[in-house]
Amino acid sequence: MDDIFTHAPKLPKDFHDRVYEVVCQIPFGKVTTYGHIAQALGLRSSARMVGYALNAVTDRVKIPCHRVLNRNGELTGKMHFETPTLMRELLEGEGVEFQGDAVNLRKHLWIPPMPDDDMRLF
């Protein structure tokens, strides 16, 4: 008798896992926005869901959450780091420049490529 799972359809990756895959692609010294990640996953209006996924990260060493900002380049996720200044310190350590409290997006913005069908959620 066949195992019932032998022919089961392959389930798509969890939304959080897909967000983490995109975040791990952000180059050193570059940043992206919650909205750009959502758009790359085919969920253009789900920037907030991306934020929720990043808030759930427990290993911030492997997943560079500090490279994800709001659409204005502001560090809206800074309260989820050990100290309120750590996110900025990590970015400045990568050579990311600020204009006041916001990252210079003209110089440091990285836009994730549109993924293949395996990565898109919809």
What are the structure tokens assigned to 107, written together? 């110089």
Q: What is the pLDDT of residue 116?
A: 62
Residues designated catalytic: 65
Q: What is the pLDDT of residue 65?
A: 95
Q: Please say whether the beta carbons of 31 and 98 come within 8 A.
A: no
Q: For the structural domain made of 15-108, what CATH number should be given?
A: 1.10.10.10
3-state helix, strand, coil in the chain (%, to 5): 35, 10, 55
For the chain, give the number of residues. Answer: 122
Tokens 């989820």 — which residue?
A: 80
Domain ranges in the chain? 15-108
Residue ranges of the chain with per-residue pLDDT less than 70: 1-13, 60, 115-122
Q: What is the pLDDT of residue 59?
A: 75
Q: How many helices (H) and strands (E) does the chain have?
A: 5, 4
